[in-house]
């Protein structure tokens, strides 16, 4: 349960806030944002599965919900979705703000 708590605090809440504040801007880039998330999942999930299955790292079951998909906890898929989405959203908002300042 700790994993989901820190995931929501560190990325879930900021993600909600940025989307509430800049929904119209971010919605225009929805395809780009979807591609960012898909690329992150495509790269990160196989890497994570390999690392877990080869013993490089693990996810203690007492720190998450205990729901595993392909040997990864559900929260890891949320992490792999939230972090790139937040980073790309911040980048798009920053670009918008900088362009607005120039004009």
Q: Are 71 and 54 in contact (CB under 8 A)?
A: no
Residue 103 forms part of a structural domain = no
Residue 87 forms part of a structural domain = yes
The model carries a pTM of 0.89
Residue 63 forms part of a structural domain = yes
Q: Are 92 and 25 in contact (CB under 8 A)?
A: yes
Domain count, the chain: 1
The residue range of the domain holding 59 is 2-96
pLDDT tens-digit series, residues 30-40: 999 999 999 99
In this predicted structure, what is the pLDDT of residue 44? 96
pLDDT tens-digit series, residues 46-99: 999 999 999 999 988 888 888 999 999 999 999 999 999 999 999 999 999 999
Residue 102 forms part of a structural domain = no
């Amino acid at each position: 349960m700790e994993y989901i708590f820190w995931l929501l605090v560190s990325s879930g809440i900021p993600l909600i806030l940025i989307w509430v504040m800049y929904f119209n801007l971010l919605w225009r880039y929805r395809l780009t944002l979807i591609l960012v998330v898909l690329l992150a999942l495509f790269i990160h999930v196989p890497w994570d599965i390999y690392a877990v299955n080869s013993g490089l790292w693990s996810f203690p079951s007492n720190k998450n919900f205990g729901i595993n998909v392909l040997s990864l906890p559900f929260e890891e898929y949320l992490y792999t979705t939230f972090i790139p989405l937040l980073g790309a959203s911040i980048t798009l908002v920053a670009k918008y703000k900088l362009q607005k300042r120039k004009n």
